[in-house]
Chains A and B, each alone.
Chain A
Amino acid sequence: MSRLPADDLYSGTQSQRRRTSRNARVVNAPPPLLRLPRTMRRLQRQAPMLAIHGLSELSGRLRDLTGHELIDMARVMELMQFVYRQQQLARRGADYAVDDFGFDAEWTESFLPLFKILYRDYWRIETAGIEQVPAAGRALLVANHAGVLPWDGTMIKTAVFAEHPNPRHVRALVASLFMGMPVLSWFLRRTGQTVGHPDDTRRLLERDQLVLVFPEGVRGTGKLYQDRYKLRRFGRGGFVSTAIRSGAPIVPVSVVGSEELYPMIGDATPLAKLFGLPYFPITPFWPWLGPLGIIPLPSKWRIQFHPAIHVEVHPPEAADDQNLVMALADQVRDTIQQGVYENLKLRRGVFV
């Protein structure tokens, strides 16, 4: 911002002129008063490489000793890459672009290593039918919703980006309540979510995006542990109308494992009202253990993508046919519910 006044360029003494000259060389910053010895500085510079060498050595020794892969170097390298990428992104300043919805694809992808660790190692998710998700063009993914915090949405997004032969970003629809909360409001938008408004759904589908919707909404996430895997009412079928209007097929998705993340044994309604939340969960760990209660349990997950229901064969006018819309909504709901039961049978236990 500070510019040299043009008048001063050729006035003043020789030394002053040299300082303001455009041809002046860039001089290195003066050395700090306290400077570490050369060997220490070299060590400081090489610390990350040395740490990796040490770790791989340790990993090899442990493998020889126990016969198991106790420290997986591939995972360690992924984490290193994640840190490096975050540093890179922090340096880009204002030099990036978000789309009209506030989505920053580059930034979102930088978080993928973290979510992949949750996906593969923590919840050991088995995904079936990923090929049902179209490799190009629009589609509306409809899933069951559970587990207090929307981890199921995160994992469906991770599944499509990590497992699909043509990695795509899924844009989930979020209740407007969360869009008004600090931190969540911008984090959700920056990672591709948008508000659950029919206009937004239509706009995203018209841009040939994959849109993920949870028609159960907060009624699904806020249900008690005893009601687990019983799907709630699917709204008023608004998602079907939007899909018909936009000519997008509906891909039902069944998620199993999300119900056991935070087994909700009660709902403190007065507290929820006080904080303006739809529910205030009471679990064996929350709120008794404080922040530790937010750690989700390591349940075993299965995600199944079902064959698409081609609602786009109906003309756009059919979106106003409430009879047809409700029938299709029920068909989607039944498919998901059936998928949930089948996957529960395939799962050996809650945590294995």
Chain B
Amino acid sequence: MTPPQRVLVTGVSNPLGSEVARRLSTQVPYLFGCDVNDPVSALEDMDFVHADTRQSVIGKLVRQLRIDTVVHLAVVIDSPREDRATHETNVIGTMNVLAGCAGPSSPVSRLVVKSSQAVYGARPEYPSLIVEDSAGIGRADSPVSRDLAELEQLTHDFALRNPGCRVARIRLGYRMTRETSLGRYLSLPLVPTFAGFDPRLQLLHEEDAAEAIARAALGDQEGVFNVAGDGVLVLSQAIAIMGARATPVLPPYGRWASRVAVRFATGVRIPAHMADLLMHGSVVDCSRLQTEFGWRPTYSTRAVLDAFALGQTEEPIESPSPPQEYELQVYLQRRRRERRNGHGSAALALSR
């Protein structure tokens, strides 16, 4: 296995994407990122391209830039809205990326696709620790789970039809940040819970998620991998750690009404797959990740929540406004290109 030379990261502007790019930038000679939105933080060693995966530009991009490794992170796994746009991004976007990487003329020999634990859904009849090959995937009835199942099926078919390309699907566990539904939900001072249910939760730290994807991009392991923190917490325990109070007010039947009620009362949207999670819980088995990657997430479920609870008390750092960052990025890219062309010092002198 040759180490990757030219890596393309799609969806690089979301927080996870930029973290993955930051990790890869020190390991990879040529790093390219594409997204619809401008990246939030500038990365000197990355070339940023405005490209939408929902259009068929990836094929051209991959061939023009002679990309050998594609990290597909333009997948929405936790959206407050479950609308057509999410479906377009997840299914049509992935379809375009796969089409771009397929075929004999494609230089791509490694593909990493982001997915989520949400693909399993949460059901009472599932085993306590779900393994990657569990039957019943795709039977989940929430829009996100359905999209993810379809996306994974497409990826699986791609892997079968393109034996020259080594494909890994990374199923990330539920993450706790200010942006995720679970993070917003557990940040409420009074947390509405389903009466008579206290499910087990398993969480994944943002750093571990990025590290898993970066390792997958640099490695050549094939197949599906669960990534989630060690150990479990029960929901009431998690709420206690957050210093909040559980209010078991949601009836276990008629979940749609409960979700609407929570949204009106607290402003937090609970996606359908999370309503299932908050009733039945979902815990995955990460032993395949450990045996094949020789690595396991460093944060346990408890540590993830402790870190999140600690971070809640601190003010978020004001991020610089994106347009400035983008201009800086363009400037740095230009400077690097000029340096590579051999008249770096002159260009620098001019720009000064």
Contacts and interface: CB of A to CB of B under 8 A. Distances in A.
A72 B63 CA distance: 86
A97 B124 contact: no
B42 to A, nearest CB: 31
Interface stretch (A129-137, A158-166, A177-185, A262-270): A177-185
Interface string B220-243: 000000000001111001101101
B199 A186 contact: yes
B323 interface: no
Contact of B313 (A1, A96, A181, A195): A1
Given A1-B313, A102-B234, A185 B196 contact: yes
Given A182-B195, A186-B197, A195-B126, A94 B241 contact: yes
A89 interface: no
B124 A195 contact: yes
Contacts of A200: 127-129
A168 interface: no
A93 B246 CA distance: 12
Contacts of B241: 94
A209 B267 CA distance: 45
Interface residues of B, number: 32
Contacts of B302: 97
Given A94-B240, A98-B232, A182 B196 contact: yes
A195 B237 contact: no
A98 B127 contact: no
A180 B128 contact: no
A185 B124 contact: yes
Interface string A179-200: 1111101100110001101011
Nearest to B202: A100
B257 to A, nearest CB: 16
A84 interface: no
B200 A189 contact: yes
Contacts of A101: 128
B146 interface: no
Interface string A92-109: 011011111110000000
A25 interface: no
A100 B232 contact: yes
A176 interface: yes
Nearest to A196: B125
> Which of B123, B128, B198, B252 has the most chain A CB atoms closer than 10 A to its own CB?
B128
A38 interface: no
Interface in A246-290: none
Interface string A141-183: 0000000000000000000000000000000000011011111
A203 interface: yes
B131 interface: yes
A3 interface: yes
B236 to A, nearest CB: 8
Nearest to A199: B127
A261 to B, nearest CB: 24
B198 A186 contact: yes
15 contacts: A1-B312, A93-B240, A94-B237, A98-B232, A98-B233, A100-B283, A177-B124, A179-B125, A180-B124, A182-B252, A185-B197, A185-B198, A186-B234, A190-B198, A194-B128
Interface of B: 123-129, 131, 194-200, 231-234, 237-238, 240-241, 243, 252, 279-281, 283, 302, 312-313
**Top 10 nearest A-B pairs by Cβ distance?**
A182-B196, A180-B124, A176-B125, A94-B240, A186-B198, A199-B127, A179-B124, A197-B127, A183-B196, A94-B241
